[in-house]
Amino acid sequence: MASKHGVMMAFWQHLARRSLASAVVVAGAFGALSAQADGNSDGDTLVADLDSEQAPLESQPAASRSAPDIDLKEVAPPPAAAAEPASPDAGAKPLSDSIQPASAVEAPKITASFSLLGSDIRPGISTRLAWSPNIQIAGLSQPTPVLVVNGINPGPTLCLTSAIHGDELNGIEIVRRTLYDLDATKLSGRVVGVPIVNLPGFEQGSRYLPDRRDLNRHFPGSANGSLADRIAHSLFTQVINHCDMLVDIHTGSQKRTNLPQLRADMNNPDVAAFTLGFDRMAVVHSSGSPGMLRTAAVNAGIRAVTLEVGESHRIQEHQIEAGVNSLISLLEKQEMISRMFVWGAPEPVYYDSLWVRVDHGGILFSKVGLGDKVNKGDLMGHVTDPITNAQYPVRATRSGRLIGMAVDQVVMAGFAAYHLGTKPDSPEFHINGELDHADSAGRGESVEAVESGDDLIDNDG
Ligand SMILES: [Zn+2]
């Protein structure tokens, strides 16, 4: 619980800083927020709707209503407080206010409203919605916030999901910073963010759902299955199916940390092309396991990758910055925003990968750090037996870069301690998706071999 408290403190401190910094910017939007506080806004997009749901939202098109325009930079009331019933549309800025006269000269195509979770979100506004899988006792249902920035100009829909594993916190902050800095009146297309998919897990500081299942092994889910199946199905049908592109954000698990990196099926040409949009990011080829959100999304025709950043239970500023910068580069490459400057080296770097496991139980002490390059045979760390005082060296089994590693800890024999990114045999083939690529031929375990072998070791969701 201490870790959760720490996170919330970090959130509030950060919100306070951000709201101070942007006070001048948000001043103009204060009128709309005041109207909302007065109860004149269309606050009924949130809990009131969820309480009355008897059937999936997609079967109730008539229930759509106009979503309120909300300045996402402003500190928000909690979702429940925004749920007071009120007259529709009063809280939203008229569309005409959002369109600059100059735009008429260029005659931009104005997109149609974007419908999501029973709300119509007009072009040029940002809003907060709520998703609920309806698996709890009526009235105790806890809606999961969904942020939407619907651009004034037409374009693709990018979705960002994080905390599918409730103890993976860096992504929550990456989604917040990315969404809250977008200007709907300048955006082409739209960005949908679900910062905390697994709210029960987040509240417990747990990777898993209340039924101890791993949600990221149950996509696309089913309406009649287990709790995890139903939650997965609800998210997939109500949110994910509306996306053209998806970045699902995770961290390492079980005291392992990851260099910021994408996991992508480079055998899929659409996915391979999608990875080109991420500046400077390490891209690790991984076919993905059945049930992963990115796998299910790719199977549904959505360009999807997993973004791995850092370790669980922590908020890591450098990792978060790298993640946000890479998403901004993606938005620019997809021509959804115009960028003022290019951050860092523009090209992503492609890797195959393998795991180095320890052969003895004991306490692992590393000599190397995340991002280090090692040659085959280099000493990476020791496992020390606390009883016999024996020291067992752990050496690189191949030359490569440390894209993931265990933090110092007690380990048992067979523990996957170092994740080495290695030069792919044929990067062109990966990017063009022309070759049936053998993931780990002749060089040990692939990412998914480790992941599918032990759920707890998995780094990809
Ligand atoms: Zn995860």
pLDDT tens for 13-58 read: 443 444 433 333 333 333 333 333 333 333 333 333 333 334 343 3
Report pLDDT for 279: 84
Report pLDDT for 109: 54
142, 132 contact by CB (below 8 A)? yes
184 Cα–ligand 1 center, Å? 30
Tens-digit pLDDT profile for residues 120-131: 999 999 999 999
391 Cα–ligand 1 center, Å? 32
The SS3 of residue 150 is: strand
Neighbours of 77 (CB within 10 A): 16
192 Cα–ligand 1 center, Å? 19
Q: Nearest-CA neighbor of 405 among 335, 357, 443, 454?
A: 357
Backbone angles phi, psi at 324, to 5 degrees: -65, -45
Query: If you average pLDDT over every residue of the chain, what do you get?
Result: 78
Give the domain ranges of the chain: 2-333, 352-453
211 Cα–ligand 1 center, Å? 17
In order of 311, 348, 379, 402, 441, the CA distances from 355 in angstroms are 17, 22, 15, 10, 14
248 Cα–ligand 1 center, Å? 9
93 Cα–ligand 1 center, Å? 38
Q: Taking residues 90-105, report their average pLDDT.
A: 35
451 Cα–ligand 1 center, Å? 11
Report pLDDT for 12: 41
How much of the chain exceeds pLDDT 90, in percent?
Answer: 60
Tens-digit pLDDT profile for residues 304-354: 999 999 999 999 999 999 999 999 999 999 999 987 666 555 788 999 999
The protein residues having their C-beta less than 5 angstroms from ligand 1 (an ion) are: 165, 168, 250, 461
Q: Which of the residue ranges 116-130, 214-228, 274-288, 427-441 would you say has the lowest mean pLDDT?
A: 427-441
Tens-digit pLDDT profile for residues 362-372: 999 999 999 99
pLDDT at position 223 over 90? yes
The top-scoring range by mean pLDDT among 5-9, 76-80, 111-115, 435-439 is: 111-115
97 Cα–ligand 1 center, Å? 41
Tokens at 298, concatenated: 């790719």
Tens-digit pLDDT profile for residues 202-212: 999 999 998 99
Per DSSP bridges, beta strands 303-311 and 245-252 are parallel
Greater model confidence, 199 or 82: 199
The Cα–Cα gap between 58 and 131 comes to: 12
171 Cα–ligand 1 center, Å? 10
How much of the chain exceeds pLDDT 70, in percent?
Answer: 69
Q: Taking residues 51-74, report their average pLDDT.
A: 60
Write the DSSP symbol of residue 272.
Answer: H
Report pLDDT for 432: 39
Per DSSP bridges, beta strands 114-116 and 119-121 are antiparallel
216 Cα–ligand 1 center, Å? 8
Report pLDDT for 136: 76
Q: Does domain 2-333 have CATH number 3.40.630.10?
A: yes
62 Cα–ligand 1 center, Å? 36
33 Cα–ligand 1 center, Å? 35
164 Cα–ligand 1 center, Å? 6
The Cα–Cα gap between 307 and 29 comes to: 33
The Cα–Cα gap between 116 and 64 comes to: 9
Choose which CATH entry (3.40.50.2300, 2.60.40.10, 2.40.50.100, 1.10.287.70) describes domain 352-453.
2.40.50.100
Confidence of residue 189 (pLDDT cuts 50, 70, 90): very high
Tokens at 347, concatenated: 């090209």
Tokens at 16, concatenated: 């306070």
* Type of residue at 342: V
The Cα–Cα gap between 26 and 9 comes to: 23
Tens-digit pLDDT profile for residues 259-306: 999 999 999 999 999 999 998 899 999 999 999 999 999 999 999 999
459 Cα–ligand 1 center, Å? 6
Length of the chain: 461
Tokens at 453, concatenated: 């072998």
170 Cα–ligand 1 center, Å? 11
200 Cα–ligand 1 center, Å? 15
7 Cα–ligand 1 center, Å? 17
196, 172 contact by CB (below 8 A)? yes
